[in-house]
Amino acid sequence: MSVIGDIAHGEVTADPHPLEALYHREYQSLVRLASILIDDRASCEEIVQDAFVRTLVAWDRLRDSAKGPQFLRSAVLNGARSQLRRRAVVRRHPQAAPQPYASMESASVDHHILVRELRRLPGRQRDCVVLRYYLDLAERDIAATLGISPGSVKTHLHRGLAALAEHLEDR
């Protein structure tokens, strides 16, 4: 937040940064996005907070501030992927993990099964399916978020949904 003061009149007014409104509008949906990929809320919130910090640092370099939400979603997805890579290293080297990670406690069994199957999808398929059906983004917005063509989004969605249908067929 930048503060603009008029010393001559003794007034100080706060001029909120555009990212502040974005924070209030997008924070919860970004935590939900991260929670599809990562299984504990604290890590999800940390990933989202880090995404906002990276966005704030890069804000002046954004050519179009309207693309802030896309930048944030990309940062959250990248942060979640990094977290998943770190966890894979911990699984390979258990001595590096002093505590096990907590799992989501409040979700239903069906939700757990769906999230488990989503996590098994290849990265781009998973990202496209989650952005489309969890955040309800249009294909063009998904393409912009992931830096791929709308045609690639359609391909990844089709393949991801087919794989989910196959894995969930018994249910």
Q: If pLDDT is split at 50, 70 and 90, which confidence band does 146 have?
A: very high
pLDDT tens column, 64-76:
878 889 999 999 9
What secondary structure does DSSP assign to 110-147, as a single string?
HHHHHHHHHHHS-HHHHHHHHHHHTS---HHHHHHHHT
Residue 142 · residue 131 · CB < 8 Å: yes
CA separation, residue 154 to residues 34, 124, 143 (Å): 22, 11, 9
C-alpha span between 159 and 15 (Å, rounded): 46
**What is the pTM assigned to this prediction?**
0.56
C-alpha span between 13 and 7 (Å, rounded): 11
pLDDT tens column, 8-39:
445 544 667 788 889 999 999 999 999 988 98
Quick one: what percent of the chain has pLDDT higher than 70? 80
Q: If pLDDT is split at 50, 70 and 90, which confidence band does 169 have?
A: confident
**64-78, 91-105, 107-121: range with lowest mean pLDDT:** 91-105
- Can you give the residue ranges of every domain in the chain? 1-106, 107-171
Of 130, 100, 124, 110, nearest in space to 35 by CA: 130
What is the residue-averaged pLDDT of the chain?
A: 81
Query: For residue 167, what pLDDT is reported?
Result: 85
- CATH topology for 1-106 is Rna Polymerase Sigma Factor; Chain: A (1.10.1740)
Mean pLDDT of 139-149: 92
Q: What is the CATH number of domain 107-171?
A: 1.10.10.10
Query: For residue 54, what pLDDT is reported?
Result: 86
